[in-house]
C-alpha cells in the first residue's frame, strides 16, 4: 500500500569501521560460524526466474479483497508453502469493505464536462483490459454523498495549505476541495477538507507528482498517463487501522461489530480520486488569485485558487458489504525456543493486478519460504519459531495484519520477538526503518548482503551514497557512529499493528531509489508488463530482498542472545528530544516575530491593492515547557543501555539465554495502555504515524503533536508519559544487565 517513492530511508552518518572478526552478535564464535554457513546456503537458493514466475501468477488477474482471484492467490500461496514443507494455513476474517455502486462527477459551470473516471486499456499491456474484474477508480471508506458546489484548489490539502488559503482570503466552506496527490497521505486530504467545512473532496494526480514531469509516460516510459488514477484507502487510519467495525479486537465471527453510524474512521465527506485529464476542466476554470509558486503543478496553465466559477456535481454510492479476508500463515516450529516467535510478512492483496504493490515484495517472500524449506530438508533447525505471513486486505486499511494481530494479541504479547515487513520492492539502495534497538542488527545484515549492481555490500553502497548527499555537518557524524541510522516507522504497511499497537520490535525493509517509483501506483497499469519493463526488470533486487529478509529471520531465530542493542536507541532518543525542543523554540520565536510584525505594520506595508492578502493576527506566545522529566529519563536510558552493553560484552557467549525473555519485552515497555491523546489504539509512545500526516512518522508523538497542535497542558502530561516509558525501558535493561552478570 505504501507509495514506493516514499519508502524507508536510512541516514548514514558512519565511519567505515575496520571489519571485526566476523562473530555474530548474540552468537559464540562456533555457533556464529555454523550460522553463517547456513546463511550462505540460504542465499544461494532464491532464483530470479522463480521470482518472475511468482509475479506472473500472482498478478495475472485483479486480486483485491473479495475478488475471486484474491482467494485463488491465497490458496495457491498456501499450497506452495505446503509444497515447500511448511505448515501453512489460511486464517479467515470478515471485514467491512465498501465498493462503488454509483460514481459520477460532472462539471456544471462554466463548461459542461462529464468525467470519464476510467483508465483505458492499452493494446500493448495484456492485463490492462480485464475490465470485468478491475475495481473502478475510487477511494475506499469515503461515505456516500451527492454534492454540488463550487471548486477550490487546495494544493496537497495539508493543514499548512489551509493556513495559506486563509492568507489568500479563501474558504472551502460549502465547496468541493480539489487536492492533488502527494506530500501528505491521501486520507488526510478529505479529513482536513472536512474540518474546514468542505462538502466534498476530489484528489487528482498532477503530472508534477508522477506524470510527465518525471519522465516518459506509460507505455513509452514508466510514469502515469493522462487518464491514470490512483485508487486508495481514505479510512482515518491515524485513529485506528483494520476493520472499522471492530476497533481493537479481531474481526472473528463472534466479535461485536459497530454499526456504520458509530464508526469513526469513515470520511466525513464524499471523496473520489481522478485523473488530471478529469481534473483539468475544473482547474482551467478557477478564478481568484494565482496560487503560490510551490502550489503550482505541471499542467500547462496558470493555477488559480477559486472558488469557482467551476462548479461540480459529485455523486457516490457504495456497497457497504463485509468481505472475507484470507491471511496465509505458515510456521516452522522452533527446536529450542518454540515460544519465541520471529514473524515475517508482506501482503498479497492489491488494488488491481498489483505487480509492484505488493507482488514485488510477496514474490521474494515466497522464495524465502522455499529456501527455508530447502534448508530444513538439509537438516537446518531454527532454535526459535518462524512464522511467515501473507496478509490479505492491506490496501483498504491494513485489514489482514491488524485483524490477525488483534485476534492473537495475547499470544503475540507473550511470544513475539520481532516482525519483519516488506511491501512493494524496487531497484537500487537498501532501505530500512523500524525499532532502533534493531538498528545494529540491520547494519550487520546489510554487511552480509551483496548489492547486485555494484557487487559492494548493500551496507557500503548505502553508506557511500548517503555520504555524498549529506550536509557537511552530517558528514562529520559519519566519523563518530559505526552504524548507519535507520528511520522510525510511521504507517502505510502491515508493521503498524505490531509496532504501534502491540509493541513488537519491527522492521520494514526494501530496495529502491533507482526505479521509476510510484508511476503506476494503485492503477490498472501496475502490472506484470509495466514491472518487467521499468522496475526491477531482471528481479536481481527481488533476489537481494529474499536474501536479506531470509537471513534476518534465520539470524534472529538462531541467536543465543537476541541481538537487540540499546545504545543506538538511546542515542537516537536524544536526537528526537532535541528536535522537539527545536520545534517548540521555533514555534515560540515565530509567534513572537509575527506578533511584532503585526504591531509594526509589516503587513500594511506589504499590501498590494490588486491582490487579496489577509494579514495574520497576533497569537498567544507558546509558554515554556518543562522538558526535565524527558531529559532525565533519556539520560537514564543512556546509562542503562551502556550498562547492559557492558554486561553483554563481558559475558560473551556465557550470557544466560533466560535474559531473552526480558529482551523480548523491551519494545513493550514503550507502550501506554491508554494510548495517544484521542487515539487509544496507538499505544507506542515513541513511534506513531502523525495524526495529520497519516503515513509520516511522528517520534515521541504524544509530546510532539501536542506541541504542534498547541495543546500545552496535554504536552506536560505527555512528557510525563514518555519519560515513564523510557524509565521503564531503563529499568528493564538494568534487570537484564544484572541477569547477565552486571551489577
We find the least distance from the C-beta atom of residue 201 to a second copy, in angstroms, to be 25
611 binding a second copy? (CB under 8 A): yes
Question: Whats the size of the chain, residue-wise?
Answer: 743
Contact between 216 and 222 (Cβ < 8 Å):
yes
Helix 48-58 vs helix 68-83: crossing angle, to nearest 10: 150
We find the least distance from the C-beta atom of residue 369 to a second copy, in angstroms, to be 30
608 binding a second copy? (CB under 8 A): yes
Taking CB under 8 A as the criterion, the residue among 87, 102, 582, 593 binding a second copy is: 593
212 binding a second copy? (CB under 8 A): yes
We find the least distance from the C-beta atom of residue 155 to a second copy, in angstroms, to be 15
290 binding a second copy? (CB under 8 A): yes
Write b or e for each residue in 207-246: b if 16 or more Cβ atoms lie within 10 A of its Cβ, otherwise e.
bbbbbbebbebbbeebbbbebbbbbbbbbbbbbbbbbbbb
**In angstroms, rounded to a whole number, what is the distance separating the alpha carbons of residues 125 and 142?**
30
We find the least distance from the C-beta atom of residue 530 to a second copy, in angstroms, to be 15
Q: Calculate ∠ Cα 726-727-730, nearest 5°.
A: 90
In terms of CB distance, is 601 or 623 closer to a second copy?
A: 601
Taking CB under 8 A as the criterion, the residue among 29, 30, 173, 454 binding a second copy is: 454
We find the least distance from the C-beta atom of residue 461 to a second copy, in angstroms, to be 5
482 binding a second copy? (CB under 8 A): no
Four-CA torsion 690, 695, 700, 703, nearest 10 degrees = -10
We find the least distance from the C-beta atom of residue 466 to a second copy, in angstroms, to be 9
Contact between 190 and 268 (Cβ < 8 Å):
yes
87 binding a second copy? (CB under 8 A): no
Can you read off the three cell numbers belonging to residue 263?
464508526
CA–CA distances in Å: residue 316 to residues 133, 143, 147, 188, 412? 20, 8, 9, 19, 40
Stretch that binds a second copy, among 39-47, 315-323, 407-415, 459-467 (CB under 8 A): 459-467
In terms of CB distance, is 223 or 342 closer to a second copy?
A: 223
Close Cβ partners of 113 (under 8 Å, ≥ 6 residues apart): 106, 107, 281
We find the least distance from the C-beta atom of residue 536 to a second copy, in angstroms, to be 11
In terms of CB distance, is 315 or 475 closer to a second copy?
A: 475
**In angstroms, rounded to a whole number, what is the distance separating the alpha carbons of residues 451 and 402?**
33
**In angstroms, rounded to a whole number, what is the distance separating the alpha carbons of residues 608 and 626?**
43
Q: Which of 316, 304, 319 is nearest to 273 (CA)?
A: 316
In terms of CB distance, is 462 or 669 closer to a second copy?
A: 462
Stretch that binds a second copy, among 118-126, 216-224, 335-343, 550-558 (CB under 8 A): 216-224
In terms of CB distance, is 64 or 461 closer to a second copy?
A: 461
We find the least distance from the C-beta atom of residue 302 to a second copy, in angstroms, to be 5
The backbone torsions φ and ψ at residue 271, rounded to the nearest 5 degrees and listed phi first, read -145, 145
Stretch that binds a second copy, among 259-267, 326-334, 541-549, 593-601 (CB under 8 A): 593-601
610 binding a second copy? (CB under 8 A): yes
**In angstroms, rounded to a whole number, what is the distance separating the alpha carbons of residues 389 and 387?**
6
Stretch that binds a second copy, among 214-222, 342-350, 366-374, 416-424 (CB under 8 A): 214-222
Name the burial class of residue 7, with classes exposed (0-12), middle (13-18) and buried (19+) by CB atoms within 10 angstroms of its CB.
buried
Taking CB under 8 A as the criterion, the residue among 83, 600, 624, 658 binding a second copy is: 600
Taking CB under 8 A as the criterion, the residue among 33, 111, 114, 464 binding a second copy is: 464
In terms of CB distance, is 259 or 609 closer to a second copy?
A: 609
Continuous segment of H or E residues that includes residue 721: helix 712-740
447 binding a second copy? (CB under 8 A): no
110 binding a second copy? (CB under 8 A): no
Largest CA distance in the chain: 81
Q: For residue 377, how far is the Cα from the chain centroid?
A: 36
CA–CA distances in Å: residue 283 to residues 155, 162, 167, 194, 302? 11, 18, 20, 20, 9
475 binding a second copy? (CB under 8 A): yes
SS3 label, residue 591: helix
We find the least distance from the C-beta atom of residue 11 to a second copy, in angstroms, to be 15
25 binding a second copy? (CB under 8 A): no
Neighbours of 597 (CB within 10 A): 16
518 binding a second copy? (CB under 8 A): no
Can you read off the three cell numbers belonging to residue 416?
513475539
214 binding a second copy? (CB under 8 A): yes
302 binding a second copy? (CB under 8 A): yes
555 binding a second copy? (CB under 8 A): no
111 binding a second copy? (CB under 8 A): no
We find the least distance from the C-beta atom of residue 358 to a second copy, in angstroms, to be 23
114 binding a second copy? (CB under 8 A): no
Which of positions 718-737 make contact with a second copy (CB under 8 A)?
none
Site for a second copy, rule CB under 8 A = 207, 212-217, 221, 223, 290, 296, 298-302, 428, 453-454, 456, 460-465, 467-468, 472, 475, 514, 589, 593, 597, 600-611
Amino acid at each position: 500500500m505504501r507509495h514506493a517513492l516514499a519508502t524507508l530511508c536510512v541516514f548514514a552518518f558512519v565511519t567505515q569501521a575496520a571489519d571485526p572478526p566476523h562473530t555474530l552478535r548474540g552468537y559464540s564464535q562456533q555457533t556464529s560460524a555454523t550460522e553463517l554457513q547456513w546463511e550462505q546456503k540460504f542465499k544461494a537458493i532464491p532464483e530470479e526466474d522463480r521470482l518472475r514466475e511468482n509475479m506472473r501468477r500472482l498478478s495475472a488477474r485483479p486480486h483485491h479483497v473479495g475478488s475471486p482471484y484474491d482467494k485463488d492467490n491465497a490458496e495457491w500461496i498456501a499450497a506452495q508453502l505446503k509444497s515447500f514443507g511448511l505448515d501453512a494455513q489460511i486464517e479467515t476474517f470478515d471485514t467491512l469493505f465498501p465498493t462503488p455502486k454509483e460514481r459520477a462527477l460532472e462539471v456544471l459551470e462554466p463548461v459542461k464536462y462529464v468525467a470519464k473516471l476510467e483508465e483505458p486499456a492499452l493494446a500493448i499491456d495484456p492485463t490492462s483490459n480485464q475490465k470485468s474484474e478491475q475495481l473502478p477508480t475510487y477511494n475506499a471508506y469515503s461515505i456516500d454523498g451527492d454534492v454540488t458546489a463550487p471548486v477550490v484548489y487546495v494544493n496537497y490539502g495539508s493543514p499548512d495549505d489551509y493556513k495559506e488559503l486563509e492568507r489568500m482570503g479563501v474558504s472551502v466552506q460549502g465547496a468541493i476541495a480539489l487536492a492533488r496527490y502527494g506530500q501528505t497521505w491521501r486520507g488526510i486530504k478529505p479529513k482536513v477538507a472536512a474540518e474546514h467545512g468542505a462538502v466534498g473532496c476530489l484528489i487528482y494526480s498532477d503530472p508534477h507528482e508522477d506524470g510527465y514531469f518525471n519522465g516518459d509516460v506509460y507505455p513509452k516510459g514508466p510514469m502515469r498517463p493522462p487518464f491514470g488514477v490512483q485508487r486508495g484507502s481514505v479510512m482515518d487510519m491515524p485513529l485506528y487501522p483494520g476493520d472499522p467495525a471492530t476497533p481493537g479486537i479481531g474481526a472473528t465471527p463472534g466479535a461485536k461489530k459497530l454499526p456504520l453510524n458509530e464508526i469513526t474512521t469513515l470520511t466525513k465527506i464524499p471523496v473520489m480520486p481522478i485523473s488530471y485529464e478529469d481534473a483539468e476542466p475544473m482547474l482551467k476554470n478557477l478564478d481568484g488569485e494565482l496560487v503560490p509558486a510551490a502550489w503550482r503543478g505541471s499542467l500547462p496553465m496558470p493555477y488559480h485558487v477559486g472558488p469557482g466559477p467551476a462548479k461540480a456535481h459529485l455523486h457516490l454510492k457504495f456497497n457497504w458489504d463485509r468481505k472475507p479476508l484470507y491471511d496465509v500463515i505458515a510456521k516452522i516450529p522452533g527446536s529450542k525456543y518454540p515460544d519465541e516467535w520471529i514473524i515475517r510478512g508482506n501482503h498479497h492483496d492489491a488494488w488491481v493486478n498489483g505487480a509492484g504493490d505488493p507482488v514485488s515484495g510477496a514474490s521474494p517472500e515466497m522464495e524465502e519460504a522455499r529456501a527455508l524449506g530447502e534448508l530444513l530438508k538439509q537438516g537446518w533447525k531454527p532454535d526459535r519459531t518462524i512464522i511467515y505471513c501473507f496478509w490479505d486486505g492491506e490496501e483498504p486499511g491494513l485489514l489482514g495484519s491488524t485483524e490477525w494481530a488483534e485476534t492473537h494479541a495475547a499470544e503475540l504479547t507473550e511470544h513475539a520477538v520481532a516482525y519483519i515487513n516488506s511491501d512493494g520492492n524496487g531497484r537500487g539502495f537498501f532501505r530500512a526503518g523500524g525499532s532502533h534497538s534493531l538498528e545494529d542488527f540491520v547494519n550487520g545484515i546489510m554487511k552480509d548482503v551483496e548489492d547486485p549492481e555494484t557487487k559492494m555490500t548493500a551496507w557500503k553502497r548505502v553508506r557511500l551514497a548517503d555520504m555524498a548527499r549529506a550536509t557537511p555537518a552530517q558528514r562529520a557524524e559519519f566519523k563518530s557512529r559505526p552504524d548507519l541510522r535507520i528511520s522510525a516507522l510511521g504507517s502505510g504497511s502491515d508493521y503498524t499493528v505490531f509496532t504501534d499497537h502491540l509493541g513488537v520490535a519491527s522492521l520494514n525493509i526494501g530496495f529502491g531509489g533507482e526505479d521509476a517509483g510510484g508511476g503506476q501506483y494503485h492503477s490498472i497499469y501496475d502490472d506484470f508488463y509495466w514491472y518487467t519493463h521499468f522496475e526491477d526488470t531482471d528481479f536481481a533486487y527481488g533476489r537481494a530482498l529474499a536474501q536479506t529478509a531470509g537471513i534476518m529471520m534465520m539470524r534472529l531465530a538462531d541467536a543465543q542472545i537476541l541481538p537487540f542493542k540499546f545504545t543506538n536507541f538511546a542515542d537516537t532518543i536524544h536526537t528526537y528530544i532535541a528536535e522537539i525542543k527545536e520545534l517548540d523554540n521555533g514555534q515560540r520565536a515565530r509567534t513572537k516575530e509575527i506578533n511584532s510584525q503585526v504591531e509594526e505594520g509589516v503587513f500594511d506595508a506589504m499590501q498590494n491593492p490588486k491582490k487579496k492578502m489577509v494579514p495574520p493576527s497576533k497569537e498567544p506566545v507558546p509558554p515554556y515547557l518543562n522538558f526535565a522529566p524527558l531529559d532525565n529519563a533519556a539520560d537514564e536510558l543512556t546509562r542503562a543501555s551502556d550498562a547492559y552493553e557492558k554486561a553483554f560484552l563481558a559475558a560473551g557467549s556465557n550470557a544466560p539465554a533466560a535474559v531473552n525473555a526480558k529482551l523480548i519485552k523491551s519494545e513493550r515497555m514503550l507502550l501506554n495502555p491508554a494510548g495517544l491523546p484521542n487515539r487509544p489504539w496507538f499505544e507506542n509512545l515513541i513511534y506513531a504515524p502523525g495524526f495529520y500526516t497519516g503515513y509520516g512518522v511522528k517520534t515521541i508523538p504524544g509530546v510532539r503533536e501536542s506541541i504542534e497542535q498547541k495543546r500545552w497542558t496535554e504536552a506536560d502530561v505527555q512528557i510525563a508519559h514518555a519519560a515513564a516509558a523510557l524509565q521503564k525501558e531503563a529499568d528493564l535493561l538494568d534487570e537484564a544487565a544484572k541477569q547477565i552478570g552486571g551489577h
